[in-house]
Amino acid sequence: MSIASKAAGVEFRNVTRRYNTVAAVDDVSFTIEAGTLVTLLGPSGCGKTTTLRMIAGLEMATSGTILIGGKDVTRLPATDRNVTMVFQSYALFPHMTVADNVAYGLVVSGVRKRDAAAKAAEGLELVGLGGYGQRLPSELSGGQQQRVAVARALVLEPEVLLFDEPLSNLDAKLRRKMRDDIRELQQKLGLTSVYVTHDQEEALAVSDRIIVMNKSVIAQSGTPDELYRRPKNRFVADFIGGANLIDGELVGRSGGTATVALGRLTLSVPDPGLPAGEVLLAIRPNAIRLRPAPVGSAADNAASEGIPVTVRKATYLGSHMEYGLASEFGDLFVVDPNVSNPVPAGASALATFTGDGIAAVGR
């Protein structure tokens, strides 16, 4: 006996969930391929947790259809779905030992006691907690409790494994390790996983695909790379990776790139597919470099290479510098790896743009 995967895909077709008149999830459709890890990412209150709970069967869709493994499960309660979930609070039953917790799902579905215990031990082994079975959850550390919750969800060999902000109760160091472990386990067992988080870095790190949600609808979905490099709208550009948002004008396009004018400067960005005219430029903080302000005739020349700025704030962070800049296009936030020759606060400087890390989105 071993823990296998029965991974199945998930599909939402025009799913809406209303509380009285307020829609928590509004006409959402997406498909999750079997064996992939997909993250639902968004600020709190965007509907991501409601979406997750609808997959679990803990919330019922007001309208629309939910399919798991091609079967319509819209009206099926949680008990009857082959979906398990790792809760934010871990939800370990405090009155049962770790082994009983892990075996719980097997026991209630009628597996013989001895088989259930054997499989539970195997599940604990899998998450690196062999030998902890007889402890109470309260006798484990936060990270260990998290692993128990994962083991408990795994031993049922679910079609879909759900994670509801699983790392939010761990400290920063442990969080990084746990997210790598979860990803590794998911890939090793080929699980279909849906993962909810509001931490964009976590989402980028673990996901095959990310569904960014905002205000009850999907803002954009795609691979981490697509979302970071070609955000479709202001919200995604800002939410993933952070960006300086300044006004520009799209003046031309050729072969997949577009030309955007920023004052006297022209920049090329991936073609956003927008009509020519006013656009918003999303400039990543690390796409800007600082250079001491040129003087005299060089200053004229420089105007076609960058924009003149005043450094309001310079912060030394060891591996890089962080600058707050004032410019004619508004305030800019810059992360510059050049720590050996920092520009001091109060100085004038020239901000230039690297080729990558700039995207145009609609205003």
Partner 1 sequence: MRPRSAIWLALGWVGFALLPWFAGGGTQPALEPPAPGPAGSALIDGLTNGRWWLLPIALPLLLALAVTALPRLRPRQPAALLAAGAFGLAWVAVQGFAIGLDGWAWGWLGSLFGPLPRGQGGYGIGAVLTVLSFLFLMTSGFAGLGFMKGDRFTAGAIGLVLAAIAAFVFLPVGYVLSGAGDTGDGGFSLVALAGRIAAPDIWRLSCLTEAKACGVVWNSVFLAVLTGIATTLLGLAFALVAVRTGFRAKKLLRLLTVLPIITPPFVISLAVILLFGRNGTVTLALSDWFGIPVSRWIYGLPGVLLTQTLAFTPISFLVMIGVVQGIGPSLEEAAQTLRASRWVTFRTVTWPLMRPGVANAFLISFIESLADFGNPLILGGNLEVLSTKIYFAVVGAQNDPGRAAALGIILLCLCLGAFWVQRQWLGKKSYATVGGKGDNGIPSELPRGIRIAAYATALPWAAFTFILYGLILFGGFTENWGRNNSLTLRHYLAAFDLSWGPGGLIWSGRAWGSLFTTIEVAALSAPLTAAVGLLTAYLLVRQQFKGRGAFEFLTMLSFAIPGTVIGISYILAFNQPPIELTGTVTILIICFVFRNMPVSIRAGVAAMSQIDRSLDECSLTLGAGSVQTIRRVILPLLRPAIVASLVYSFVRAITSISAVIFLVSPKYELATAYIVGRVEQGDFGLAIAYSSALIVLMSIVIALIQFAVGERRIGRRTATSATLQEKPV
Shorter beta-carbon distance to partner 1: residue 153 or 227: 153
Number of DSSP helices (H) and strands (E) in the chain, helices first: 9, 20
In order, the DSSP letters of 180-241 are: HHHHHHHHHHT--EEEEES-HHHHHHH-SEEEEEETTEEEEEE-HHHHHHS-SSHHHHHHTT
Contact 307, 264 (CB under 8 A): no
Q: Which residues bind partner 1 (CB under 8 A)?
A: 44, 49, 56-58, 60, 75, 77-79, 81, 83-85, 87-95, 104-105, 108-109, 136-139, 152-153, 156, 162, 164-165, 169
- Could you give the CA distance from residue 33 to residue 209 in angstroms, rounded to a whole number? 10
Cα angle 85, 49, 15 (rounded to 5 degrees) comes to 105
Closer to partner 1 by CB, 178 or 288: give it. 178
Residue 100 gets which letter from DSSP? Answer: H
Least Å from the CB of residue 88 to partner 1: 6
Alpha-carbon span 94 to 109, nearest angstrom: 20
Q: Which CB atom, from 84 or from 221, has the smaller least distance to partner 1? A: 84
**Is the Cβ of residue 146 or residue 244 nearer to partner 1 in the bound state?**
146
Quote the crossing angle between the two packed helices 98-108 and 142-154, to the nearest 10°.
20
Q: How far is the CB of 43 from partner 1 (least distance, A)?
A: 11
For residue 136, the minimal CB distance to partner 1 (Å) is: 4
Count CA within 13 A, CB hemisphere, residue 79.
Answer: 2
3-state secondary structure of 319: coil
Comparison of 21 and 340: residue with beta carbon closer to partner 1: 21
Determine the 3-state secondary structure of 151 from DSSP: helix
CB of 160: closest distance to partner 1 in angstroms?
10
* 103, 182 contact by CB (below 8 A): no
Q: How far is the CB of 70 from partner 1 (least distance, A)?
A: 20
Q: Closer to partner 1 at the Cβ: 94 or 355?
A: 94
Residue 68 pairs in a beta bridge with 10, 71
Nearer to partner 1, 141 or 301 (CB): 141
Shortest distance in whole angstroms from residue 175 CB to partner 1? 17
Minimum CB distance to partner 1, residue 330 (Å): 34
